[in-house]
Structure formats: structure tokens, C-alpha cells
Amino acid sequence: EDKVVQSPLSLVVHEGDTVTLNCSYEVTNFRSLLWYKQEKKAPTFLFMLTSSGIEKKSGRLSSILDKKELFSILNITATQTGDSAIYLCAVEKGAQKLVFGQGTRLTINP
């Protein structure tokens, strides 16, 4: 059975801290791994990763994929209160068939 597992499920840190969110997967026919941010509404796209070892960056956020060990991490440096959200990891298996993890609820305290 396909599985995507995120950890931790919940994380509370102070503004300015650096956080690392984890996503491990066991999925047949892997095509890509995607990260989304969900605030009080619909998820918004952050990154798509297809190759191992190539870091994707967007401002203070970065992500990397390890296809040998079947995991990805999402790093957020110098966190701000606006980073508070649920972060979702999803694996695409075949075109448009996505399996999501449970999400990590990140809370940034001022």
C-alpha cells in the first residue's frame, strides 16, 4: 500500500528559529514529490522535486529529495509568524495520481 508519512505532526517554535520538516514515502511508480503550504484555505504550491540531491530554493524555504532513502525535507530559515501553516507533502505516482501525507502543523510564536 502506498504511504506518505510526515513528521513531526505538529511543531511550535519561536520567530527566527530554523525548522526542518520531514516527509518519507513508499510509493510505486514515483514521478515527483511536491510540497504545499495550507493556511486557512486551499493549499498553495511550494516545490516540485524529481531528482535526488538537487536543492530547490525560494527565499527562506528550501527542499531536497533523496530517492535512494525515499525521503524529502523542507527547511525554513529565520521563521516568521506568517510561516504558521500546515505543510503538506505529496507524491505523484503516475500522471495526476497524488498521495498526500498527514501534514505538519507549524506554529511560529512571536
Partner 1 sequence: EAQVTQNPRYLITVTGKKLTVTCSQNMNHEYMSWYRQDPGLGLRQIYYSMNVEVTDKGDVPEGYKVSRKEKRNFPLILESPSPNQTSLYFCASSTPGLLYNEQFFGPGTRLTVL
> Candidates 10-18, 55-63, 67-75, 94-102 — which segment interacts with partner 1 by CB under 8 A?
94-102
> Least CB distance from residue 37 to partner 1, whole Å?
11
Count residues contacting partner 1 (CB under 8 A)?
22
**107: contact with partner 1 by CB under 8 A:** no
23 in Cβ contact with 33 (< 8 Å): yes
Round to whole Å and give the CA distance between 94 and 7.
Answer: 25
* Window 64 to 83, contacts with partner 1 (CB under 8 A): none
63 in Cβ contact with 6 (< 8 Å): no
63 in Cβ contact with 49 (< 8 Å): yes
Nearest to 59, CA basis, from 41, 39, 80: 80
The answer for residues whose C-beta is within 8 angstroms of residue 80's C-beta and 6 or more apart is: 15, 108
**The binder of partner 1 chosen from 13, 15, 24, 48 (CB under 8 A):** 48
**101: contact with partner 1 by CB under 8 A:** yes
**The binder of partner 1 chosen from 33, 49, 103, 106 (CB under 8 A):** 103
**41: contact with partner 1 by CB under 8 A:** yes
Beta carbon nearer to partner 1, 17 or 67? 67
Q: Which residues pair with 99 in a beta bridge?
A: 91
